[in-house]
Amino acid sequence: MIETSEKIINLTAAIIKVQGAISGVHKNAKNPHFKSSYATLENVIDTARPALQEVGIAFVQAPGAVVEGSVEITTMLVHSSGEWMRSTLHVPLGKRDPQGVGSAITYGCRYSLMAMLGLPPTDDDGEAAIDRESFEPSRPVAGSAPVKSSAQLKRDGFWPEFERELGECDTLIKLDRFRKEWWEKSKRDGWNEAFKAAAKDRIEGREKVLMNARDDDTFPGDLPSGAVANMMAG
C-alpha cells in the first residue's frame, strides 16, 4: 500500500523525469555456485541517487518491527516541494538471528527502492561477456599484446602481485572485480594459456572459500528457488 501527501503533483512530475533518465539497474553481483545474479543495494543507490538529486528528490529507508517472522521496511520519497510518498514492505526472515535480519533489511531496501521508482533489474551484456571470456584459452583479440613465453612472464614478476591482490578479496563482489581487472591485464600483457589456466584455478579456489563462508549480504531471494533450502540448511 502506498501512502502520499495531500498533493503529489510536483513529486509525480519529478519521478517521471527519473524514470526517463534510468532504464534499470544492472545485476552487478553474482553467486557463482548457484549461477544467479542480482543488483546490490549499493548499485541500486548509486544508479538512482544522481537522477533523484537532479530533480529534487531524497529517499529515506528504515527498518521497523519484526512481526510474525517478517521485518518491516519503509521507503519514503520526499520532494523539495514538501510532497512525499511512502510504502512499507514486509520481508520474511530467512533466519531468526542478527545475520538473517540484516540480510532481510538489505534485501527489502533494494527491492523496495527499485519498486518505488519503477526500476527493473537488468543484465549487463558487456560485463557478462567479460565473465565468459575470463582466463579461457587464448584467441586473437584486437589490441591484445603478443603472447609471451612462460620464462618471459616469470621475469615480469607479476605473480606475487596477483597472489597478494587475490588474498585481499574477502567478498564475492571484490573477487568478481578482481577477475575482470586481471583478465584485462592478461590480454594487455600477453599471457599464454598455461598462465591463464593457473590464474583461473587460483581464482576458482578463492571463490569456493568465499562461497563456503557466505557473504552476509546474500539473501534467499537472490537465489533460484531450488537453492534456498540448501542455504537455509547450512
According to the model, what pLDDT value does residue 28 have? 78
Q: What are the phi and psi torsion angles at 154 (to 5°)?
A: -65, -40
Distances (CA, A) of 23 to 18, 46, 149: 9, 14, 45
**Chain Cα centroid distance, residue 213:** 18
Q: Which of 87, 22, 95, 14 is nearest to 54 (CA)?
A: 14
According to the model, what pLDDT value does residue 112 have? 93
Q: Is 32 exposed, middle or buried (0-12, 13-18, 19+ CB in 10 A)?
A: middle
Q: Could you give the CA distance from residue 156 to residue 151 in angstroms, rounded to a whole number? A: 9
**Chain Cα centroid distance, residue 48:** 14
Strands 57-67, 121-122: pairing kind = unpaired
Q: Which of 40, 141, 69 is nearest to 48 (CA)?
A: 40
Q: Is 190 exposed, middle or buried (0-12, 13-18, 19+ CB in 10 A)?
A: middle
Q: Could you give the CA distance from residue 139 to residue 132 in angstroms, rounded to a whole number? A: 13
Per-residue pLDDT of the chain (234 residues; tens, 9 = 90+): 899 999 999 999 999 999 999 888 887 777 665 567 778 888 899 989 999 999 999 999 999 999 888 999 999 999 999 999 999 999 998 788 888 888 889 989 999 999 999 988 875 433 333 344 455 544 544 555 566 666 666 666 777 888 888 888 887 677 878 888 888 887 777 777 887 888 888 888 887 777 665 444 455 545 444 443 343 334
| Alpha carbons within 13 A on the beta-carbon side of 6 | 0
Three cell numbers at 222?
A: 537472490
The DSSP symbol for 137 reads S
pTM of the model as a whole:
0.54
